[in-house]
Amino acid sequence: MKSAFLTLTLAVLAVGGTGAAHAALDNAAAEAMMKKDGCAACHAIDKRIVGPALADVAAKYRGDKDAVARLSKKVKEGGSGVWGPIMMPPNTPVADDDIRALVTWILGLKKTPAPAPSK
C-alpha cells in the first residue's frame, strides 16, 4: 500500500501545476486514488456499480479531444443524466491535478470483450 501511495504521490507531483502535461498513473496508483477519493464506491473498471464501468466511460469518449477537460469538470462539480438518473456527487475536495490524472488514466482503459461461451 505504501508503494502505491508513493507511486501516486510521485505521479501527482510530476503532473505539477502547469496542467500542460499529465503523468501517467499505473493501475495500482489509479486504484489507490479511486479508493482514497471514494470513486471505487460507485465505479469499477469492468462493471457497473452505481455509476458506469470505467471501461465504458473510456469507450464512450474515445477520440474526443475535449474529454479530459469535460470529464474532469464533471468529476469536480458532479452531475447526472449521461449514464442514468443517479447523481454523481461533486468531488470538490479532490485536487484538480489528481482528477485530471485519474480521468486521463480512465480514458486510456480498454474494454475487454466477454469470454466466449463454452460449448
Q: Which tens digit of pLDDT belongs to each residue from 60-113?
A: 999 999 999 999 999 999 999 899 999 999 999 999 999 999 999 999 998 765
Q: Identity (one letter) of the amino acid at 7?
A: T
pTM listed for this prediction: 0.73
Angle between helices 2-15 and 96-107 (to 10 degrees): 100
- Cell numbers at residue 83, please? 449514464
pLDDT at 119: 64
Burial class of residue 119 (count of CB atoms within 10 Å of its CB; 0-12, 13-18, 19+): exposed
Mean pLDDT estimate for the chain:
81
C-alpha grid cell, residue 40: 471505487
Residue 103: the pLDDT is 97
d(CA 79, CA 85): 10
Instruction: Give the mean model confidence (pLDDT) for residues 6-25.
Output: 43
Q: Which three cell numbers stand for residue 21?
A: 502535461
- pLDDT reported for residue 6: 35
Q: Which of 39, 48, 41 is nearest to 103 (CA)?
A: 39
- 114's grid cell: 466477454
- CATH 1.10.760.10 assigned to domain 2-107? The reply is yes
Asked whether residue 23 carries a pLDDT value surpassing 80, the answer given is no
Residue 114 has what pLDDT? 58
Q: Residue 57: CA atoms inside 13 Å, Cβ hemisphere, count?
A: 27
